[in-house]
Chains A and B, each alone.
Chain A
């Protein structure tokens, strides 16, 4: 009994509540006419879509840089990769992996610069990250209008200059991961094997990374800076590497998101993309200075599950669309809970 109580207190009551809430939704679903197979399929789809973006938060959390509200920096790098790949006409697998190849160095540079900035402001990272992200997204909104893109698939029809707000990936690499080895069971259920595999693969890579020397050093810097310093580890260098890693994962993450969504969203869309990712990570059990792969997978699944199920179920039950309000309250409430938790001494 004591063990259960300990586990509950540790895991956090809000998370337990969310978990049971999701189970309840799944149980109630068939009774209100919501197809479970379709919901499950949607949930898995959204899980794969968002998993890597959530994963991108882990390195910075482990290194003690807090929650990366500046994820838009990585997203912009990803957008650059995607648009350049489209511009030079890469399609299919070449398109996707070409975009990845292009965005990684860009993300590394962005990450390095961003990391330098964050190192100067240890302690106030989160708010600054937010506004750096906002500035960059808005600044790039200017660039999207001015840069010499010319591919007719991307630019405005009338003027031929400036990128469109949403660019469809239909003829390029839309859904390419999703459809890879997809398993179709029955009418409503499609398992997007390719994307899930890719997401799990990336998670596995990150997991391996944290078992290397650099990875362990990074974790040490985050959880026990004095110990790390005593061991000769430069906290600045580790933090910069964590930011670079985070930015690069963010870039890849948005590429995976885009191919599943089917569209590249430009201009102001990336502004608030960090928040759902942060909420998902926290729901999965992470805290402001500690996050693991399990947190990522469980959190993304729970969060996206709730986002998928609540509209359908609650709308059928109450005959009204409350999904928006529930989403806002849940995701932000989760972040609030994590931010206000007294940080415990390392366990």
Chain B
């Protein structure tokens, strides 16, 4: 009896994961892709995308919801990469240089983002989303107008022919796959970018350790209950900002890892969908707006990307058009995010109602209509 109940609870708690699993399970055989191809692609994508998704963990822990503002960190990473390519710094050194250059930018942007989000309590997610757009404008201003004019650029190969502004696509050959190749292990006919995996593993260890530190505990406390934390002397505002700063820095590093795997960078577009993909991944992995764990990250990356690989092909097979498959995949990703957000908000309200009913000693039915509660 108890076992059955647990199973149903499990499904109810992880609806989004289950739906995605079922869909992908159906689409995979239809797509006609070989297991080897799919596996190799998944392995590459785990290495490429996990770091970015991890950057969302800390703000969720601190009760700030999904940090759509992580895209600011991605922009910082891109600026770092632009300089690395400009100064011809290659290989893993180039990646390190990008991260080092991007670090102060990410910290400043993260601090600004945190301050803005603090002023928009209760609406952090929408604000973060718009903040991302806003910063995109600032980024375009810097990269398209200032670089090459006010900010000296050495390499003529990466600037536009008019003299200033960076080209639309930046060739990252100098650092291409440098992290991946650092320790590429061939096993069972598949390539494992162990170097990248090790970096991700270090990040996991860092997060586990961080949760136990005072700062980490503070963040978790704020995530649980802001008022109580404030009363116990935790500097709520500053800690929230620190959570966002850390998230932004991680996003910066994650974007550098992402781009080194891609091999070239769409200067003005590379960060457009970063927030969406990371958020979709973590939600599909079973996380919610208030709770996210490390397994959520990996499960989410695998599931989301699995769907991304097979859905267009399945659409092509079924409807004769890969375009439909792509639309389907996107509609489902957006829908999954919407569903996860709705479930979370709905559960939160149910929780509040049930609590209130408890206070009223169950004299009033929480489901009563007519404007009560």
Contact B324 A145 (CB under 8 A): yes
Measured between alpha carbons, how far is A329 from B136 in the docked complex, in Å?
Answer: 8
B141, B331, B338: residue with the most chain A Cβ atoms closer than 10 Å: B338
Measured between alpha carbons, how far is A66 from B141 in the docked complex, in Å?
Answer: 31
Measured between alpha carbons, how far is A131 from B349 in the docked complex, in Å?
Answer: 20
Contact B331 A139 (CB under 8 A): yes
Chain-B contact segment, one of A17-25, A122-130, A187-195: A122-130
Contact of A336 among B130, B321, B338 (CB under 8 A): B130
Residues on B with C-beta less than 8 A from A124 are 125, 289, 341, 344-345
Measured between alpha carbons, how far is A329 from B142 in the docked complex, in Å?
Answer: 12
Contact of B140 among A67, A123, A328 (CB under 8 A): A328
Contact A325 B140 (CB under 8 A): yes
Chain B proximity of A261: nearest CB distance (Å): 23
B362 within 8 Å of A by Cβ? Answer: no
* Given contact pairs A142-B324, A320-B145, A128 touches B342 in the complex (Cβ within 8 A): yes
Chain B proximity of A38: nearest CB distance (Å): 27
Contact A275 B133 (CB under 8 A): yes
Residues on A with C-beta less than 8 A from B145 are 320, 322, 325
Residues on A with C-beta less than 8 A from B324 are 142, 145-146
* Chain A: CB-nearest residue to B132: A332
A-contact bits for B312-336, CB 8 A (1 contact / 0 none): 0000000101011001101100110
Measured between alpha carbons, how far is A67 from B342 in the docked complex, in Å?
Answer: 17
A150 within 8 Å of B by Cβ? Answer: no
Chain-B contact segment, one of A45-53, A83-91, A95-103, A232-240: A232-240
B129 within 8 Å of A by Cβ? Answer: yes
* Chain B: CB-nearest residue to A67: B126
Contact A339 B126 (CB under 8 A): yes
Measured between alpha carbons, how far is A74 from B137 in the docked complex, in Å?
Answer: 28
B57 within 8 Å of A by Cβ? Answer: no
Residues on A with C-beta less than 8 A from B360 are none
Q: Which of A217-259 contact B (CB under 8 A)?
A: 228-229, 232-236
B-contact bits for A111-122, CB 8 A (1 contact / 0 none): 000000100111
Contact of A340 among B116, B136, B344, B372 (CB under 8 A): B116
Measured between alpha carbons, how far is A8 from B133 in the docked complex, in Å?
Answer: 27
A-contact bits for B361-373, CB 8 A (1 contact / 0 none): 0000000011110
Measured between alpha carbons, how far is A327 from B133 in the docked complex, in Å?
Answer: 11
Chain B proximity of A107: nearest CB distance (Å): 19
Contact A142 B328 (CB under 8 A): yes
* Chain B: CB-nearest residue to A278: B130
A265 within 8 Å of B by Cβ? Answer: no
A335 within 8 Å of B by Cβ? Answer: yes
B309 within 8 Å of A by Cβ? Answer: no
Residues on B with C-beta less than 8 A from A66 are 123
Residues on A with C-beta less than 8 A from B369 are 234, 236
Q: Which of A288-339 contact B (CB under 8 A)?
A: 288, 320, 322, 324-329, 332-333, 335-336, 339
* Given contact pairs A131-B337, A131-B341, A328-B134, A235 touches B371 in the complex (Cβ within 8 A): yes
Chain A proximity of B25: nearest CB distance (Å): 21
A-contact bits for B108-144, CB 8 A (1 contact / 0 none): 0000000010011011011101110110111011001
Contact A142 B346 (CB under 8 A): no
Residues on A with C-beta less than 8 A from B133 are 275, 328, 332
Residues on A with C-beta less than 8 A from B120 are 339-340
Measured between alpha carbons, how far is A132 from B331 in the docked complex, in Å?
Answer: 10
Contact of B371 among A132, A139, A233, A339 (CB under 8 A): A233
Residues on B with C-beta less than 8 A from A275 are 130, 133
Contact B334 A131 (CB under 8 A): yes
Contact of A325 among B66, B119, B130, B144 (CB under 8 A): B144
Chain A proximity of B4: nearest CB distance (Å): 27
Contact B140 A324 (CB under 8 A): yes
A233, A236, A325, A342: residue with the most chain B Cβ atoms closer than 10 Å: A325
Measured between alpha carbons, how far is A108 from B327 in the docked complex, in Å?
Answer: 26
Residues on B with C-beta less than 8 A from A166 are none
Chain A proximity of B342: nearest CB distance (Å): 6
Residues on B with C-beta less than 8 A from A336 are 116, 127, 130-131, 134
Residues on B with C-beta less than 8 A from A172 are none
Contact of B342 among A117, A142, A234 (CB under 8 A): A117
Contact A142 B331 (CB under 8 A): yes
Contact of B341 among A127, A145, A333, A335 (CB under 8 A): A127
Measured between alpha carbons, how far is A134 from B140 in the docked complex, in Å?
Answer: 24
B-contact bits for A132-163, CB 8 A (1 contact / 0 none): 10110011011001100000000000000000
Measured between alpha carbons, how far is A65 from B327 in the docked complex, in Å?
Answer: 29
Contact of B130 among A121, A131, A132, A332 (CB under 8 A): A332
Contact B130 A339 (CB under 8 A): yes
A-B contact pairs, 15 of them (CB 8 A): A120-B345, A121-B349, A123-B122, A124-B344, A126-B125, A130-B129, A135-B334, A138-B330, A142-B324, A145-B327, A229-B372, A236-B369, A288-B123, A325-B140, A328-B134
Enumerate chain A interface residues (CB-CB to B < 8 A). Answer: 66-67, 69, 117, 120-124, 126-128, 130-132, 134-135, 138-139, 141-142, 145-146, 228-229, 232-236, 275, 288, 320, 322, 324-329, 332-333, 335-336, 339-342
| Given pairs A130-B126, A138-B327, A145-B323, 11 additional interface contacts (CB within 8 A) | A123-B345, A124-B289, A126-B126, A127-B66, A131-B334, A135-B334, A135-B338, A234-B371, A288-B123, A332-B133, A339-B130
Enumerate chain B interface residues (CB-CB to A < 8 A). Answer: 66, 116, 119-120, 122-123, 125-127, 129-131, 133-134, 136-138, 140-141, 144-145, 289, 319, 321, 323-324, 327-328, 330-331, 334-335, 337-338, 341-342, 344-346, 348-349, 369-372
